[in-house]
Amino acid sequence: MNIDPHSIISPSAKIGQNVEIGPFCVIEPDVCIGDNCRLDSRITLKRGTVLGTGNNIGSGTVIGDKPQHTAVKDSYGKVIIGNNNTFRENTTVHASMKESEATVIGSNNYLMVNAHVAHDCVIGNDNVLVNNVMLGGHVHIGNRVNLGGAVGVHQFCRIGSLAMVGGQAHVIQDVPPFVTVDGLTSRIVGLNQIGLRRNGRTIEEVNVLKEVYRLIYRSGLTWTEILQQLQNNYAVGPCAEMTQFLLATKRGIVSERRSFNAPLRLVDNGDEQESSVIESRTLKINVG
């Protein structure tokens, strides 16, 4: 154990083996730090924070502080963090609103500079949150999700596994698994095929996911009809996660980005000769 003498450590904090704590850190009571964690400088771990093993915490990070909510009481919950996560400089993670509950972050996540995780969020494993990502309260994120710089996620939204959200997108509805969200329009632009391939999904599995994508976004069916077809035809196999995700949505899902190639022609007095194209838009859709 290597603790800088300029740090303030509560005697009741539990600190594991081979932990490094740099200068000017504050470790409050009822904090648990697992083996092989490394804390840089000026880090605050508030009461009730639990760190697993092998976590790296960057300078200025604050974990377990009071939720940013007007209804929060003096007593509030915890933050529970898994193993081998990286929190870069000035990351903030807030505790749960309820004393008996916790904000939860899994393992092998990478949270970059200024990322913010609000109260009662649940984050899975192997996710990347780029600089200045902002998660509202009660946001749920699956596994292997990539959120680009300055993405904002509205409270109570869910983001499915292997989704990729482009920088500066504003997410106000659920993002299904396996899709890509364009940062400019905040709309879905197809499957995250690179992510699917890198995570071992076969061509056959991707082709089935394409079928489901077209069913959801291009079939013209009602939402009830889409859910019925998903339950009937895609309840098992590579699309089962997508089916279960959509069945559980309460906020609806992010729509697809579409534009139309529909020229508007101006005809003089019914003359069917040459007309002028005054507007043309290009169809830009990528299912893969």
**Residues with catalytic function:** 119-120, 137
**What are 240-247's contacts with CB under 8 Å, separation 24+?**
241/160, 241/161, 241/177, 242/160, 242/176, 242/177, 242/178, 242/209, 242/212, 243/212, 245/158, 245/160, 245/174, 245/176, 245/177, 246/176, 246/216
Per the CB < 8 A criterion, the answer to whether 94 and 67 are in contact is: yes
User: Quick check: 276 and 195 in contact, CB under 8 A?
Assistant: no
CA distance 197 to 193: 6
Cα(35)–Cα(14) distance, integer angstroms? 10
Quickly list H helices, 50-137.
none
